[in-house]
Amino acid sequence: MASYLDLVEKVVMLQQLRDNQRTMRTLFANNSSPPFEQLMSKSLGEIDQKTLPSLNSMNGPRGDSVAPLDEEAKFQKSLKFVLEKEGSKLVHEDGGKESSRFGILQSTARAFGFRGNVRNITKEDVEGIYRKLWEKSGASSLPVPLAVVHFDSYINNPASAKRLLEKSKGDIDAYLKLRERRYVRLASAQPEVYGKYLQGWKNRIQSLRTMVAEHTKNGDYASSAVHSARNG
């Protein structure tokens, strides 16, 4: 399969051939040369058919080369982390308020169009809701692993996640420290409501730190590299 650079070179060659055609038309303006023009047009047409479909096949639904695949990879990585931590069991009175499943509260599911009881929510419904939350969170514009950290924070508390991102200025370590401090304050202020969740919250933050460390150690920069290359 041709690489992206190979296809770009073909497009450049195609443009050069078109320039040459215009030049030759000028030179032969006073001469009758239909055979030459016919051959040239045929050659250009053949190159168009071989090159342009290959380029189009690299584009996503919105015509953005590579970017949609990059965003989808980040979303799936973030969604996988969230679902692994939330699990699929029904949680009664999540946060002392209402039931949730897959980390989605009944009220949140309803707000995003789900009309049934959250206990019956399907994985397809869950992914659809989380995809909408992903779009609202702004995580798609962030590099991995910050995108994962921010998305996980956003589904916990959107307003808080926005403040954390702003205050940390995108520094992951600072972001996670601020998030942990917030949990400690909540547990201290209302121990009867949030005290039982504090250790679980801390464990989740530690899991995020582990994910970040593994990402850095393994040099897992595929998505970020494409994002950076596209944005200079």
SS (H, E, C) the chain: CCCHHHHHHHHHHHHHHHHHHHHHHHHCCCCCCHHHHHHHHHHHHHHHHHHHHHHHCCECCCCCECHHHHHHHHHHHHHHHHHHHHCCCEEEEECCCEEEECCEEHHHHHHCCCCCCHHHCCHHHHHHHHHHHHHHHCHHHCCCCHHHHHHHHHHHCHHHHHHHHHHHCCCHHHHHHHHHHHHHHHHHHCHHHHHHHHHHHHHHHHHHHHHHHHHHHHCCCHHHHHHHHHCC
Amino acid identity of 66? V
pLDDT higher than 50, residue 136: yes
pLDDT higher than 50, residue 7: no
pLDDT higher than 90, residue 230: no
Q: Determine the pLDDT at residue 101.
A: 95
Q: What does the pLDDT average to over 79-92?
A: 94
CA distance 224 to 143: 5
CA distance 163 to 182: 11
From 67-76, 77-86, 104-113, 116-125, the region with the lowest mean pLDDT: 67-76
Q: Are 104 and 126 in contact (CB under 8 A)?
A: yes
Q: Determine the pLDDT at residue 161.
A: 98
Closest CA to 85 of 202, 178, 173, 223: 202
From 32-36, 157-161, 180-184, the region with the lowest mean pLDDT: 32-36
Q: What does the pLDDT average to over 114-141?
A: 96
Q: Determine the pLDDT at residue 166.
A: 97
pLDDT higher than 50, residue 50: no
pLDDT higher than 50, residue 160: yes
What pTM, to 2 d.p., does this model score?
0.65
% pLDDT > 90, the chain: 58
When the pLDDT of each residue in the chain is averaged and rounded to a whole number, the result is 76
pLDDT higher than 80, residue 84: yes
From 24-28, 132-136, 146-150, the region with the lowest mean pLDDT: 24-28
Task: Identify the CATH class of 67-230.
Answer: mainly alpha
